[in-house]
Structure 1
Amino acid sequence: MKKSVLFNKYTIRTTILILLICAGLTNTAFAQNAALGSSTTWGKVDGVAVNGLVQGPSTAEAELQVACVFEYTEGDIFNPPALPANLNGMVHLDDALKGIITELRKSGKFAGHSLETLLIIPPKGTLAAKKLLLIGLGERTKFTPDLMISVGSVAMREALRLGVSNYSFASDIKDAGIDSPTALVAANVVLGSFEAYRTQTYLKDKKLSDHKPLSKIILLAGPAFYTVAGDGIKEAIAKLNAKS
């Protein structure tokens, strides 16, 4: 009888422990998924706020939306390993523009070569942003996170050239099904952006450039990648501010 009681107590304690561990793991998993619309100012560089936002590029409010695409392969943003349509910001962006992004890519009018750019002025009411800038990422099989330093620089230079006071940036790499290091990609975008910003500021001080002051950059991320991206962004901000 005593053995039975001891066994039952042991079983109950073990079960409770397992449930607590499972609950902890579940809470951790949920904690890593930010809610849609979550926003944070990760920090500032040279007076420019670097914000994070859980939002898709079609609905993020900004003067300019930047989105990145690889060279076209049939169904690349719609079929696995691309993210499902309900989580895929590039699909939403394409849908909002009635398929024009896919049409441009498929026809070769915008090939998506590395650092190639295309500016689109969307009809009023189709996107939350006033302008859309596509930046090519080249061949998906040759992608490396280092490319995002140059992509960040191109985005910043184009934003300053267009005279916007803020812009939103979506790498869309996960949307395309590329398993990339989220924190490093986000950090490289920030590093490249402010390398370009500081160059233009230097030229402005020499009266060789005249750009409108930039108030903020908004870096978009999906719910599952928001926190990890933020870690990379904060690391990049700290590195940049250490140089200033």
Structure 2
Amino acid sequence: MKTKTSIYKFRYSYLFLLILTFSFNGFAQTASIGSTVTWGKVDGVAVNGLVQGPSAAEADLQVACVFEYTEGDIFNPPALPANLNGMVHLDDALKGIITELRKSGKFTGHSLETLLITPPKGTLASKQLLLIGLGDRTKFTPDLMISVGSTAMREALRLGVSNYSFASDIKDAGIDSPTALVATNVVLGSFEAYRTQSYLKAKKLADYKPLTKVILLAGPAFYTVAGEGIKEAIAKLNAK
């Protein structure tokens, strides 16, 4: 009897430790809202990570990405739930204008299409909002994010901002994309564009206000994974 009791105690203790281990690992991989870090620098520009939605991130310019419109696409599964969905929060903060623009065809969301919005004071934490189209969701590939990153950087430099915040919003739209690779490609594309403008500036063929930082947003569950992709991109860029 004592032997059986000891075996049961051992089994329950082992099961408890197993559950505790999984719980701890899950917690360790989930960052809290507001968590931020500087992943590194490229050409003197800081590349920061931030756990925050695009409506609440403080920046001169907020960049957000959207696919071509399909009915209820950011509100219904497989889109993230509303409480975790940055695009829903952004749309709500602007009283539904993003959905209205997309649904009416005023902004189609075609690949690399852009639209600049100056929000009323107090509605967003950023001063301006730039929407970038991702095209047809069924044809999305992570490679597109290189061009999206380049587009975001060129527009930021053209607008003369000191910093900008970037949200891919792919997970919000329900697309199961490779988080690290998407983050890598955004950073690579961004700084390829930055270096092109620097090259032109050196030849007195372009001028722009120096950029101090780029902020890459991620949800709590994707922050760490995105960070790995960002660091990989920074290492590649700094090795060139």
Structure-2-length-normalised TM-score: 0.99
Equivalent-residue separation in structure 2 for 1:14 and 1:239 (angstroms) = 48
CA–CA separation in structure 2 for the residues paired with 1:84 and 1:15: 35
Map of 1:138 onto structure 2: 135
* TM-fit CA distance, 1:132: 0.3
Match of 2:236 in 1: 239
**1:81 match:** 78
The Cα of 1:54 is off from its aligned counterpart by: 0.4
Q: Which range moves more in the overlay, 6-15 or 133-142?
A: 6-15
Q: Deviations over 1:175-228 (max 9, x none)?
A: 000000000001100000000000000101111110100000000000000000
Distance (whole Å) between structure 1 residues aligned to residue 14 and residue 88 of structure 2: 43
For 2:21, which of 24, 40, 44 is the aligned residue?
24
What CA distance in whole angstroms lies between the structure 1 residues aligned with 2:163 and 2:116?
A: 16
Secondary structure, counterpart of 1:209 in structure 2 = coil
Structure 1 runs of 4+ off > 4 angstroms?
Answer: none
Match of 1:12 among 9, 12, 20: 9
Of all paired residues, the percent bearing the same amino acid is: 81
2:41 is matched with 44
Whether 1:157 and 2:161 are equivalent positions in the alignment is no
2:197 corresponds to 1:200: yes
Unaligned runs of 5+ in 1: none
Greater alpha carbon shift after TM alignment, 125-134 vs 13-22: 13-22
Task: Give the aligned residue type for 2:157.
Answer: L
Q: Give the aligned residue type for 1:118.
A: L
Q: Does 1:217 align with 2:214?
A: yes
Amino acid of the structure 2 residue aligned with 1:160: L
Q: Which residue of 1 aligns with 2:109?
A: 112
Instruction: Give 1:30 deviation, angstroms.
Output: 1.0
Partner of 1:57: 54
TM-score (norm 1): 0.98
1:95 aligns with 2:92: yes
Separation (CA, whole Å) in 1 of partners of 2:15 and 2:232: 36
Q: Which letter maps to 2:234?
A: I
* 2:57 corresponds to 1:70: no
1:129 pairs with 2:130: no
Residue 6 (structure 1) shift: 1.4
The 2-side partners of 1:20 and 1:124 are apart by 51
Deviation at 1:104, TM superposition (A): 0.3
Aligned-CA RMSD value? 0.5
